[in-house]
Structure 1
Amino acid sequence: MRVFLTGATGLVGSAIIPQLLEHGHSVIGLARSEAGEKLLRSAGAEVHLGRLEDLNAIYAGAAMADAVVHCAFEHDFSKFKENAELDKRVIETFGDALKGTDRPLLVSTGMPLESLIRPITESVSLPAVSPTPRVSEQTATALQARGVHVNVIRLPQVHSVAKQGLVTSLIGIAREKGISAYIDDGLNRWPACHVEDAARVYALALDKHQAGATYHAVGEEGISLKAIAKAIGDGLNIPLLSIHSEDADAHFGFFGKLVRRDLSASSAITQELLGWKPAGPGLIDDIRKHLKR
């Protein structure tokens, strides 16, 4: 299949390209700059020039492909609401291009649900009213009623030695503040997955496409925020400190709400459906290696 890939030069997207090529697909990557174009061509992908804001270019990219994988999201948290609204429009545009066909649409999203009792599973549905401005999953799911063959892939903290998702921002805050903090007892958890493992989920989801399925690219069900903070503190040689919940926003800024949340998740259903087994390495190992560079 010819696969149109957004976010093709990002952490996850750039790892998806070799997986798709290995599975016999060709890739059309969305690029918005000459540097991005050069990077995609060197990876063996075709290039479709355009930006997420250019919905005509988004539609054209989907129209020329046999499948679409949507990984792009603008992670400027100072404009999170605006970026979430743009993401919604992009997904709806893909729906316009693919409706009434059997061409798959794979939509990436985060882990938007808290796991107050046990790790959430792929069968847990989102509430009708989103707890965050980002509505990637709700928008994708609504496209099924229009005849679009949609899969949702929920991503945790996807990491490599170079980047660790939101943890990269926590490292920056720790450097700035001179302490590595967690909230209260720090036992709330975040799930994680090495980027190569996450990329394999996308390739397998295309190969074994089941319209309407939700997948969890989760390698580790839940790593405590205290353990994450300790790895950061050890790596930066700065103190580890517990902060009360009411002080989280003052210390972490936008991330105050996120560091209070318990977001552990299971991937047992995904592993069974796709024959996928995460191989690691783990998030803590990559944090330590990153801070030793």
Structure 2
Amino acid sequence: MKVFVTGATGYIGAAIVKNLTGAGHAVLGMARSDESAAKLKEQGLEVHRGELADPESMAEGAKQADAVIHTAFPQMGPDVNFEELLGMMTAAVAAMVDSLKGTDKTFILTSGAGGYGDTGTTVVDESMPIVAPTHAPNEQKVMGATSEGVRSIVIRPTIAYGYGASNPIMAWFNLSRQMGGGVYIGEGDALISSVYIDDLAELYRLALEKSDPGEAYNAADGSILEAKVVAEAISHAAGLGGKTVSIPHDEVEKAGFIGRIIGTKMVVSIEKAKRVLSWNPSGPSLMDELSTGSYAS
């Protein structure tokens, strides 16, 4: 199957590309820059130049493939206009989905478990409504296209980790270094769910190959960690000696986007992906990666 992967050189996208090609699928990788195009060509991949701000370029890429896996996300600077950003993301998704209507081709959207909001201690499955404005419009657009000849699928990752990278994990490290200790919010009782990057990539491929249309899948490894415990592990990995620092809830904006993530309880079920797709996450745990793995100092 020929798959158009947006964000093909990004953290999640690159892992998906590796998994797809390893399973014999052909990849058309979207590149937003000469550097990204060169990286894809070095892997022997076909390249499509596109840009989130140019919806038609995204649609043209989608038309050239049997399936689309959308992982691209815009760069977020300190002065970003959030409403403009959401509008750009929604327009890009709409253009790709509309170009596939009536074809029965596959469109897999990368959403996020953060779309559920704070779950508390309740384990939520995919039937839980997505409420976050960053996630809901695109999910509604994609799922709505199921009745219009698009094989729509949604993946809802928790925090992806592995190989010493990941935007959320590295943001947590950077904030901790700035503050002089592993950072948590309030009492540190937020609940962290996460997924190893190779396991996440495998889930995308299994969904591509096996899923029925109109289905969503949570992506996590099944472990639940208190934020304070992770913060201490990050402190050790960053060479800060295990020292931790609490940021009060009413000052969470000081922590940037990572503050909202590590200050929220996120507990999700992965039973659906395991049952329907035979997905079996088996990579090293986040704590193992922090203590002795790719993030360890």
Fold match (TM-score > 0.5): yes
* Residues 51-99 of structure 1, C-alpha deviations (whole Å, 9 max, x = no match): 1212221111111111111011124163244332211111101111101
User: Which of the residues 110, 113, 123 maps onto 2:112?
Assistant: 110
Percentage of identical aligned residues: 30
User: Which of the residues 162, 172, 186 maps onto 2:174?
Assistant: 172
Q: Residue in 2 aligned with 1:12?
A: 12
* Contact 1:20 1:203 (8 Å CA) reproduced: yes
Q: Tell me, in whole angstroms, the C-alpha distance in 1 between the residues paired with 2:167 and 2:123.
A: 20
Q: Residue in 2 aligned with 1:262?
A: 265
Q: How many residues align?
A: 290
Q: Residue in 2 aligned with 1:209?
A: 211
Q: Give the counterpart letter for 1:122 in structure 2.
A: E
Q: Residue in 2 aligned with 1:248?
A: 252
* Contact 1:158 1:164 (8 Å CA) reproduced: yes
* Residues 160-219 of structure 1, C-alpha deviations (whole Å, 9 max, x = no match): 132133121111111112122212332211211111100001111111131001012211
Find runs of 4+ consecutive structure 1 residues off by over 6 angstroms: none
Unpaired runs of 5+ residues, structure 2, are none
Q: How does 1:44-83 map to 2 (within 5 A)?
A: 44-76=44-76, 78=78, 79=80, 80-83=82-85
Unpaired runs of 5+ residues, structure 1, are none
Question: Which has the larger displacement, 158-167 or 99-108?
Answer: 158-167
Q: Tell me, in whole angstroms, the C-alpha distance in 2 between the residues paired with 1:187 and 1:231.
A: 15
TM-score (norm 2): 0.90
Q: Residue in 1 aligned with 2:162?
A: 160
TM-score (norm 1): 0.91
Q: Give the counterpart letter for 2:35 in structure 1.
A: A
Are residues 271 and 133 of structure 1, via their aligned partners in 2, closer, same or farther at CA, if it must alter by over 3 Å?
Answer: closer
Q: Give the counterpart letter for 1:214 in structure 2.
A: A
Question: Which has the larger displacement, 217-226 or 90-99?
Answer: 217-226
Are residues 40 and 240 of structure 1, via their aligned partners in 2, closer, same or farther at CA, if it must alter by over 3 Å?
Answer: same
User: Which of the residues 138, 141, 145 maps onto 2:140?
Assistant: 138
Are residues 18 and 167 of structure 1, via their aligned partners in 2, closer, same or farther at CA, if it must alter by over 3 Å?
Answer: closer
Q: Residue in 2 aligned with 1:235?
A: 237
Structure 1 residue 136 displacement after superposition: 2.9
Are residues 135 and 172 of structure 1, via their aligned partners in 2, closer, same or farther at CA, if it must alter by over 3 Å?
Answer: farther
Q: Tell me, in whole angstroms, the C-alpha distance in 2 between the residues paired with 1:225 and 1:82.
A: 31
Three-state SS of the structure 1 residue aligned to 2:141 is helix
* Contact 2:155 2:216 (8 Å CA) reproduced: yes
Question: Which has the larger displacement, 68-77 or 202-211?
Answer: 68-77
Question: Which has the larger displacement, 275-284 or 111-120?
Answer: 111-120
RMSD over equivalenced CA pairs, Å: 2.0
User: Which of the residues 112, 120, 127 maps onto 1:123?
Assistant: 127
